[in-house]
Amino acid sequence: MDQIKEILTRHSIPSIVDIHVHFMPDNVMSKVRQYFDSAGPLLGRSWPIKYRDDDATRIAQLKEFGVSRFSALNYAHRSGMAKWLNEWSRDFAKIDKAIISSATIYPDDDVYEYTKEAIEGGAEVFKVHIQVGEFSPIDEKLIPAWHLLEESRTPVVIHAGSGPAPGRYTGVGLVRQLLDIFPNLTLVIAHMGMPEYREFIELSQKYENVYLDTTMVLTPFTEETTPLGEDNARVISDLSEKIVFGSDFPNIPHEYVVAIESLESAGFSSTWMRNVLFETPTRLLGARS
């Protein structure tokens, strides 16, 4: 813990804003844990989850780490689930003002209605999981929902990269097509697009509202199988206004500090660290209309 405080002090970072945290209904979280524990097929290897306490304890842990705001991301893997998850997330966000009110979309018949409801109800960030959800981001049912998200400038954390394992709709191609339709969409590319780092980094350079999150990037666990590479590290060293910190807490195979330490030891500047951990996500969350 003190280790985190030292890093924050070293780079004059007021606090951490973590865009990629999961809080889920108990039954969903226990299924996710089972999946990670059994090294499910989308993971490809064992993934010993570090943080397993109840919600209240995990909220307290985040604050202890120096996190001032964190998301509570949920995602659906079948039809009919998202609306209920969004209702749960809306109530969950009322527990503590540090929680970034979160929601999700899935190609349901009523996706437009519940997306509108979520935005009007104060959702500050959405999560879309292309790999687990196994749907195309340009599924025609989603088009009206994307329109709402673009118009309201609501950031959408999208897991579209083919890591840890490729899915039917993962990869940069369909995200490019989505941005052809909605060029002003505010997207946060989860895991920096891993393993298609370069392609997704280029999207963030091309589109004003496309950001990248650092979730699991450069950690020893990831570097073992999917290294970022020196070229990509050099490119992102200039992109701290387009990069936001994410941890994937609590479903991580290491201590929370490892996510931050891994960025620091990659040699990024203090300005970079301060932007990524605090300034850029703060500005991003404040940009909703």
Q: Is the peptide bond before 164 cis (omega within 30 degrees of 0)?
A: yes
Q: Which of 108, 124, 196, 248 binds Zn ion (CB under 5 A)?
A: 248
Compute the least distance from the CB of residue 289 to Zn ion, in Å.
26
Quote the least distance from Cβ 104 to Zn ion, whole Å. Answer: 12
Q: How far is the CB of 143 from Zn ion (least distance, A)?
A: 25
Exposed e or buried b per residue across 116-132, where buried means at least 16 C-beta atoms within 10 angstroms of its C-beta: ebbbeeebbbbbbbbbb
Site size for Zn ion (CB under 5 A): 1
Residue 53's alpha-carbon distances to 69, 99, 177, 231, in angstroms, are 19, 17, 40, 39
196: contact with Zn ion by CB under 5 A: no
4 vs 19, beta carbon nearer Zn ion = 19
Nearer to Zn ion, 112 or 194 (CB): 194
Within the chain, residue ranges assigned H as helices are 2-10, 26-37, 55-65, 82-93, 111-120, 130-133, 143-151, 172-181, 197-206, 220-223, 230-236, 256-265, 270-274, 280-286
Question: Which DSSP helix (H) or strand (E) runs through 158?
Answer: strand 156-159
**Window 208-247: contact mask with Zn ion (x via CB under 5 A):** ----------------------------------------
The reply on whether position 261 binds Zn ion by CB under 5 A is no
Name residues contacting Zn ion, limited to 60-79 (CB under 5 A): none
Residues that bind Zn ion in the complex, under the rule CB under 5 A: 248
